[in-house]
Chains A and B, each alone.
Chain A
Amino acid sequence: MNLTVDGRQVFAYSAAHQLDAARPTVVFLHGAGLDHSWFGLQSRYFGYHGRNVLALDLPGHGRSEGPPFASIEAAADWVPKVLDGFGLGKAALVGHSMGSLIALECAARHPARVERIALIGVAYPMKVSEAFLDAARRNEQEAFDMSTIWGHAAQVPLGANPNPGMWLYGDTLARLARLAPGVLHNDLKACNDYAAGLQSAARVKCPALLLLGRLDVMTPPKAAAPLAQSIAGSRTVLIGSSGHSLMAEAPDAVLDALIEFLA
């Protein structure tokens, strides 16, 4: 479903359900260069299990009008406006990678609107190498290759994927190929520039889950430790078989962890 926020059209996948302000809401926030369908199985589950689901295309991604947000803070301030637009109050935020930083920052800045946060594939600081940023700035294929290869566990191309018949590398590359020039660089730079992580983490008062892939080379589990220590009462779940693309590499483990956390 579509909504206009700040004069720009925003798309939200709702799992084919009408929204109902009386129901709990889950907002899904995707990572750099991706879109709402990155949460396909998980968002669908909650839409069919009594939740309002808003799996958002962030501005400049998927079906949402650009330009993309230049900072994590700007995106974090936008999320409550989306809730307002749909007539919804509080929500649980589930973010992946860049989306996890948006969820974290939103929980710190807008505590009245955020019930809990699940941070998937998170790290702080979320530093991006100069080589990656440069390639993305030039919109070179090499940037998409880095995003694809580092975005999955090393064994992914040499093993089976849980979704029958799909090739995860090809799927990621196809998604990145649809991006407008500059969007991936914008997203990576926003992650790289985000400097408020620990202060914001200390301000988070809602329940928080960190969902990490043991084989993640882009945001390795040890890089999430400062955040985990700074968010009071946070819980960390380590998924042994996954790299950075947890929703695709380990969809059932991610869903099970979210079901337990959002119960």
Chain B
Amino acid sequence: MAAPKYPAFDTLALHAGQSPDAATGSRAVPIYATTSYVFRDSEHAASLFNMERAGHVYSRISNPTVAVLEERVAALEGGVGAIATASGQAALHLALATLLDAGQHVVASNSLYGGSHNLLGYTLRRFGIETTFVSPREPRNFERAIRANTRLLFGETLGNPGLDVLDIPAVAGIAHAAGLPLLVDSTFTTPYLMKPFELGADLLYHSATKFLGGHGVAIGGVLVDSGRFDWEKSGKFPQLTAPYAGFHDMDFEEESGTRAFLLRARREGLRDFGACMAPMTAFHILQGVETLHLRMPRHVDNARKLAAFLAAQPTVESVGYPELPSHPDHALAKRLLPRGAGAVFSFNLKGGRPAGRAFIEALRVFSHLANVGDAKSLVIHPASTTHYRMSDEDLKRAGIGAGTVRLSVGLEDAQDLIDDLGRALGAAKKVAQ
């Protein structure tokens, strides 16, 4: 028998989850633009509905094209499986809605994407789910905030906006000691830069809109389960370990063991909330996943060059990139992100809001918009866009300066990007003087 060997990441990125189409031989992933699937006979229909046979019934619950993306991302992350969703926010909501009931509590990093902060801090509070936000810089903050009704710890692998590196081994250890799972948003790192499950996280999700898709053409999310968290042993999750009247009295853990979370998330979450991914979207995102292992090194390489350039400019107050020794999480980044600390970072311009606006308007290669993780380089000045209504003091409380600029570094020639930044810095300097 040949020695056991797993296919490498690059190979899985191209092949996991898809066999050449049985009907046509199609090598590329076919786009199954169908809502539903013909049953062979009544017995077959009943067996599919009752989960006695594997297969597709209705594309809100599963679809062959979407299933390829799900299996592929699960393979790249080392999970038991995945569910693709309408957006990254839908993936986060699906995870939360599967695990938490009204009256329960989340401990979350306070360095989160604004949409996630809104969902946890305001929207879910309306439905009786509370969140305590803590600084991720000190893992013990998570421990101190855990209550009897806490059911989840949550953070981003690289936090917003300061790129705080989540100490996943430490926070996972705290979570597990309390019988709780750790969920991470892995959007900025992708499985190429970090495998959160290998570090101890139990669940993760991506805004696949960003680096997984990588070309700014489709909105989507993917929720992945490691299958390692023992819901039965924890004793805190009757949602997964007791008969559920909302799904034929199924005990999801008893039914499927390692698959319990995904089983309920798919069979209840996609059924009732309905935030599924369209097959065309899955196809678009798959095109990006197939080159993830080629794009991410270039994204990171370009980001390093730009961070180094900016750090050396007199008109730049500071650069917040974890690979720079000046970043507070530099040592942690070296340990947890040896392949690189991603390609999104912020820097602070001298000269406040006017300098920020002038800088943005002078750029020619960078696109001014509200997204990250595109093959093209992107830029935004929060103080004149997303955070326009906030005072300088409120901005400071949010960890943003009047001259803060966020870059998402793309795949263009690095020197062209540096030239673009240099020209814009010149324009900003004139305004600042």
User: A residues engaging B (CB < 8 A)?
Assistant: 13, 16, 35-37, 40-42, 44-45, 48, 62-63, 129, 142, 145-146, 148-150, 155, 157-167, 169-171, 173-175, 177-178, 217, 251-252, 255
Contact residue among A37, A164, A169, A255 (Cβ-Cβ distance under 8 Å from B256): A37
A41-B53, A251-B53 known; A157 and B257 CB under 8 Å?
no
Decide if B417 is an interface residue (CB 8 Å cutoff). no
Interface centre among B18, B64, B255 (most CB of A within 10 A): B255
Decide if B6 is an interface residue (CB 8 Å cutoff). yes
Interchain CB contact under 8 A, B50 and A165 = no
**A–B pairs, 9, beta carbons within 8 Å:** A13-B254, A16-B250, A158-B16, A160-B17, A160-B67, A160-B68, A165-B74, A165-B262, A170-B79
Contact residue among A41, A149, A157, A252 (Cβ-Cβ distance under 8 Å from B51): A41
Interchain CB contact under 8 A, B249 and A16 = yes
Residue ID in chain B nearest A166 by CB atoms? B81
User: B residues engaging A (CB < 8 A)?
Assistant: 1, 4-7, 11-12, 15-19, 47, 50-56, 62-64, 66-68, 70-71, 74-75, 78-84, 226-228, 230, 232, 243, 248-251, 254-259, 262, 266
6 closest residue pairs by CB, A with B: A174-B227, A165-B70, A159-B19, A45-B52, A167-B74, A37-B257
Interchain CB contact under 8 A, B54 and A41 = yes
Residue ID in chain B nearest A62 by CB atoms? B257
CB neighbours (8 Å) of B19 from chain A are 155, 158-160
Closest Cβ–Cβ distance, residue B121 to chain A (whole Å): 30
Given known contacts A171-B258, A174-B227, what 9 new A-B pairs fall within 8 Å (CB)?
A: A157-B7, A158-B12, A158-B15, A159-B18, A161-B17, A164-B66, A174-B80, A178-B228, A178-B230
Cα separation A16 to B63 with both chains bound (whole Å): 28
Contact residue among A45, A149, A252 (Cβ-Cβ distance under 8 Å from B5): A149
Closest Cβ–Cβ distance, residue B347 to chain A (whole Å): 39
Cα separation A237 to B52 with both chains bound (whole Å): 21
Residue ID in chain A nearest B72 by CB atoms? A167
A44-B51, A158-B11, A160-B71 known; A171 and B62 CB under 8 Å?
no
Contact residue among A13, A155, A157 (Cβ-Cβ distance under 8 Å from B6): A157
A129-B1, A149-B5, A164-B70 known; A174 and B228 CB under 8 Å?
yes
Interchain CB contact under 8 A, A165 and B227 = no
Interchain CB contact under 8 A, B4 and A149 = yes
Interchain CB contact under 8 A, B5 and A48 = no
Cα separation A36 to B253 with both chains bound (whole Å): 11
Cα separation A177 to B259 with both chains bound (whole Å): 14
CB neighbours (8 Å) of A35 from chain B are 257
Interface centre among A45, A164, A251, A255 (most CB of B within 10 A): A164
Cα separation A145 to B56 with both chains bound (whole Å): 30
Contact residue among A42, A146, A171 (Cβ-Cβ distance under 8 Å from B81): A171
Closest Cβ–Cβ distance, residue A233 to chain B (whole Å): 29
Interchain CB contact under 8 A, A169 and B227 = no
Closest Cβ–Cβ distance, residue A148 to chain B (whole Å): 8
CB neighbours (8 Å) of A45 from chain B are 47, 52-53
Interchain CB contact under 8 A, B83 and A165 = yes
Closest Cβ–Cβ distance, residue A252 to chain B (whole Å): 6
A16-B243, A170-B227, A174-B258 known; A163 and B6 CB under 8 Å?
no
Interchain CB contact under 8 A, A165 and B67 = yes
CB neighbours (8 Å) of B71 from chain A are 160-161, 165-167
CB neighbours (8 Å) of B259 from chain A are 37, 40, 166, 171
Interchain CB contact under 8 A, B232 and A170 = no
Contact residue among A164, A217, A252 (Cβ-Cβ distance under 8 Å from B56): A164
Interchain CB contact under 8 A, B79 and A252 = no
CB neighbours (8 Å) of B55 from chain A are 162, 164, 252
CB neighbours (8 Å) of A145 from chain B are 4, 6
